[in-house]
Amino acid sequence: MIKFPIFEPLLVWILSTKFLTFGLYTRAAVAGLLFAVLTLPFTNFRLGVSNQAMASSPFKAILPTMARDIAYSLGRAALPAMIIAHYSSRAHRLTASSPEVLFGAVAGACLLAAPFNELRDRQLSKSHAAHFMPLRSMFFAVIRSLLQAESLVLGYRYAPDAVRAVVDGASHWKLSKGIMAQWKVAPDVEFWALAGAVSVVVLLSCVIKQKLRKMWRSQPDLLKEMLLEN
């Protein structure tokens, strides 16, 4: 819910912006670093809610997380050109947006980042380190990579249609029509940016709900007084 909606527009913007004068790979590394720092508190909170054994502070395991996301970003930046150079021909011209290229780049980038993801899990959970099985981890890394690549290919395929449907449906309201008129970026980036905003809102709602639940269990009288005062 977090990775695609936030990472995709971030990567596209950093690789194309004129504010940065770095090379391609440095830009990709910056995108991975920013993504790791921005989303780490949310991902750690999500893990803590779903698995108490992995409950942690907001910035625990930050180094392997940054290494994982930087490796993924570098793979996304480097692999498309390699795939195009190896498989493209006069009869079958490939581009960076071709489904075959996107699928291979995402799957390869996920596999590059998989070892750092294992290091992150080991820092977050002692039980994971105690029961580490290399073959099992490699199997699930391949499965996750293929699923993520397929999801992203389908997202880019249907994102323009989804954006057009949202714009057409929102055009009946003057406020939304004015907002959409100022949105002059690529349709697929619009889709991921919109999905990212929704993801952040949902995550913040989950954080607030979890905090209120803990307060209700530990200090119900205090919470009741706060609600009555408001």
What is the rounded average pLDDT for all residues in the chain? 76
pTM across the whole model: 0.70
Residues contacting residue 148 through CB under 8 Å, at least 6 positions apart: 3, 106, 107, 110
pLDDT band at 180 (very low <50, low <70, confident <90, very high): very low
Residue in this structure with the two tokens 């480097």, named with its chain if needed: 78
222 vs 118, more confident:
118
Residue count (the chain): 230
229 vs 165, more confident:
165
Report how many helices (DSSP H) and strands (DSSP E) the chain contains, helices first.
9, 0
Average pLDDT rounded to a whole number, residues 30-55: 78
For residue range 52-95, list pLDDT tens digits in order: 656 567 788 889 999 999 999 999 999 999 998 888 776 578 88
For residue range 121-142, list pLDDT tens digits in order: 888 776 655 666 778 888 989 9
Phi, psi of 31 (to 5 degrees): -60, -45
What are the structure tokens assigned to 28, written together?
Answer: 């990709």
pLDDT band at 184 (very low <50, low <70, confident <90, very high): very low
